[in-house]
Amino acid sequence: MIGGATKLFGLVGHPVAHARTPQAMNALFERNGLDAVMVPFDVPGTDLARCLASLSRVGNFQGMVVTVPHKMSAIALCRDLTPRARLAGAVNVMRRVGEDAFAGDMLDGEGFVVGLAAAGHSVAGRRICIVGAGGAASAIAVALAERQPAKLTLINRSRERLLALHERLRLRFPDLEVVIGEHVGGHDLVVNATSLGLREDDPLPFDPEQIGPGVLVAEVIMTPEITPILHAVARRGAAIHAGRAMLDGQLDAIFRYFSEGGRIAVRRGREA
């Protein structure tokens, strides 16, 4: 039960009706007997800084999960960053480290590869195409590049973001073939790391006709579970990997990030 000592966490995004992280985190808090709760905050893209400034005035506010469209802009609001967050150029978790200060990390990439491994899919030696160059896409690109794929192809509508991500990966992984592409064909694994598919009227993120049998197509969108692009490629004989796996793969890491150092109290009569 929420009380005067309850620590408050948020999920910040726009929209947030599709979000599944608050439900999952609240279940973890309850299971571990921690006096904490996570609630969704629907914050338009230009309002994140003002929202965080207001939340920093709330004494029991401890941190937040960051989702679309804030993952890249949130990095400027963090005092401390992990190396992987700096490389990805984005954060998806922030925690309070002072009265007006927050630290940030990016766990999407690790969550994505953990989810792939749990489903029996390997990365090493595979030709991989990532569609998107935003926060989640950048984190996924870094995590995949660390696991020795044969080739990494990047596709994105925004040329500026695409070139910036390509340059960061090229400098960090000089022995990996990282290329800018236009088509998803010719790859073993294709990742839709865009938000296209979240809304009913969204166009498909790429042409499903370029996907054939034996290709694995992975998604980062969690709702709907089977997005239009997954439906389309499955009809062509491709294997599919739903976006919920990325969240499941990082839930424990998010929980540890928020709870380490004893920053959340155990409820009376319970043991963590």
Q: Which residues carry out catalysis?
A: 71
For residues 224-237, b (16+ Cβ closer than 10 Å) or e, as one string?
beebbbbebbeeee
Question: Could you give the residue ranges of the DSSP H alpha helices within the chain?
Answer: 21-31, 48-55, 83-88, 108-118, 135-145, 159-172, 228-234, 244-259
Q: What is the C-alpha to C-alpha distance for residues 172 and 119, in angstroms, rounded to an integer?
A: 28
Q: What token pair was written down for 179?
A: 């290329």
Q: What is the DSSP letter of 209?
A: G
Cβ atoms of residues 169 and 141 within 8 Å: yes
Q: Scanning the structure block, which residue is given the tokens 């090229």? A: 170
Q: What is the C-alpha to C-alpha distance for residues 155 and 148, in angstroms, rounded to an integer?
A: 19
Q: What is the C-alpha to C-alpha distance for residues 82 and 85, in angstroms, rounded to an integer?
A: 5
Q: What token pair was written down for 15?
A: 């929209």
Which residues does 114 contact at the CB level (< 8 Å), separation at least 6? 249, 250
Cα 120 to the center of its chain, rounded Å: 20
